[in-house]
Amino acid sequence: DGCGDRYAVEGVQFRLVPLDITDRTLFTATDAEQLVARINGNDVASRSLLRNQVAYLCFGMTEDATTTRDLLSLVQPTATAPPTNLLDRLYEQGALQSCDVPLALIFWTLSGIQFIDTWAVRRRIHQVSPTSAWPFGKREERLAIGEATFLQFQQQILDLVDTQLTFGQARQINARDYFDFLPPVGVLPLQEGSRRGIGVDTFFTRQPHRAPEVIEGALVEPLLVQGPWHSPVFTREAELVWVYRVRQNQQALNVDSSVRPYLIFTSSHVPYQAFANFDMARWEYGNYWQPPVTEERA
């Protein structure tokens, strides 16, 4: 009724929402079994896989295929999109309210906090379409989640390389041993000389990939912008990835020891960028077309 409004004070309340692995409305039996095994694992790889798995349950990316299996079922006038991710289910349960803004995913044990992952649950503000049952009705949400997958991965890979692993261990990281999913586009710190990072052939040793190819810096922003529209890379299905070096970064390494070398990788569904451009080539940093090798016949 407005009585006493002048005495009202705006405030913020912080609270923790527990995730019950035994709750089958939140986690499938398969997911729960995998989570328990990773929680009980006491090594960096198990913790990384746990963090990655819960993050992608929050993204809803593990269930992408369920929409395309039966797309026409969404034509029905009464069709509504079911909860597709862990956060949606928490809202549906009432564990999260409409005024709640998730800030971070926290995992801790008796030994203390093991990791804090912000972008597993944070999303930028986006519009919700009334036709959200159809994929195009969720395009704003999908893009926001895609951007979050990129930011989450960058946070996790830097935590691994810079703080959780030794210099030599970081060089030996294999994607499948540390991640179930990779974002459709990501940036990897590369080990060169005394600079900490991953080894590209080691990281992607179980993923089909070409040797890194050089692209111009002008292509980096378009890659980072269009990449989040695509689905993530499932490492256990040995999906092809494209791997790129950036000319400007490579040249800077020769003159500035503070520059950190990096690689960009993308899902194979993101359009390939390292096409030969003779008029744009730089010595030792260009892409040159080579004719296919043909078998000589007698």
Model pLDDT, residue 61: 80
Instruction: Residue 164: count other Cβ atoms within 10 Å of its Cβ.
Output: 15
pLDDT beyond 50 at 225: yes
pLDDT tens digits for range 245-269: 999 999 999 899 899 999 999 999 9
pLDDT beyond 50 at 205: yes
Amino acid at 61: M
Model pLDDT, residue 51: 98
pLDDT tens digits for range 26-82: 999 999 999 999 999 989 999 999 999 999 999 998 755 556 777 677 666 555 666
Q: Which of 49, 63, 53 is nearest to 176 (CA)?
A: 49
Model pLDDT, residue 283: 54
pLDDT beyond 50 at 197: yes
Model pLDDT, residue 40: 95
**Locus of tokens 């405030």:** 11
Beta bridge partners of 186: 265
Distance (Å, whole) CA 185 – CA 182? 8
Report in angstroms the alpha-carbon separations of 102 from 62, 196, 232: 20, 32, 22
pTM: 0.86
**Locus of tokens 């999908």:** 142
Distance (Å, whole) CA 52 – CA 185? 15
Phi, psi angles (nearest 5°) of residue 181 = -130, 145
CB 36 within 8 A of CB 21: yes
Distance (Å, whole) CA 244 – CA 209? 11
Q: Which of 172, 166, 159 is nearest to 200 (CA)?
A: 172
Return the H-helix or E-strand segment holding 214. Answer: strand 213-215
Highest mean pLDDT among 148-152, 192-196, 269-273: 148-152
pLDDT tens digits for range 81-132: 666 799 999 999 999 998 899 999 999 999 999 999 999 999 998 776 655 5
Model pLDDT, residue 3: 76
Neighbour-count burial of 253, counting CB atoms closer than 10 A to its CB (0-12 exposed, 13-18 middle, 19+ buried)? middle
**Average pLDDT of the residues of the chain:** 87
Amino acid at 86: L
- Residue burial 258-280, b: 16+ Cβ < 10 Å; e: rest: eeebbbbbbbbebeebbeeeeee
Model pLDDT, residue 298: 45
